[in-house]
Amino acid sequence: MGVRPPQGGSSDEPDAIEFGIAALDARLSESDVQFPATDEEIVAGLRDPEIPYDAFGNTLSMDEALSQLPRREFESESELLELLHPIFEDHRASSSRGLLDQMRDLLPF
């Protein structure tokens, strides 16, 4: 998932803020993790095992996310992402704030 950040006029800002499976996918692409891989190899291969699960910067550690899965070895990256998707979505849904709180974050005052 991703969401556009507030526009600040600077071209140095990213086009979108990645979180959830999209953020994990990007981190895995930049890592040296080779599949099939164990949960330990995945955590060790990620430079920062904290993955943001919402647009507010809340994170979930890969250790915690992987511990919620019934298996410890994954044949492919797509298999891993598919299994982790509900876990990231559950965290995002349980921490989502109301619309009013989200609008306050976007306003400059």
Is residue 42 domain-resident?
yes
Q: Pick the closest to residue 35 from 85, 81, 89, 1 (CA basis).
A: 81
Please determine, for residue 9, whether its predicted confidence score (pLDDT) is greater than 60: no
The residue range of the domain holding 47 is 16-96
pLDDT 10s digits, 75-90: 999 999 999 999 999 9
* Number of separate domains in the chain: 1
pLDDT 10s digits, 11-44: 555 567 789 999 999 999 999 999 999 999 999 9
Is residue 4 domain-resident?
no
Is residue 8 domain-resident?
no
What is the Cα Rg of the chain in Å? 15
Mean pLDDT of the chain: 83
Is residue 108 domain-resident?
no
Give me the mean pLDDT over the 58-75 stretch.
Answer: 94
What is the structure's pLDDT at 49?
84
In angstroms, the CA 28 to CA 40 distance is 14
Q: Answer with the residue of higher pLDDT: 93 or 38.
A: 38
Q: How confident is the model at residue 47 (pLDDT cuts 50, 70, 90)?
A: confident
What is the structure's pLDDT at 14?
54
Is residue 39 domain-resident?
yes
**Strand 50-52 vs strand 2-3: parallel, antiparallel, or unpaired?**
unpaired
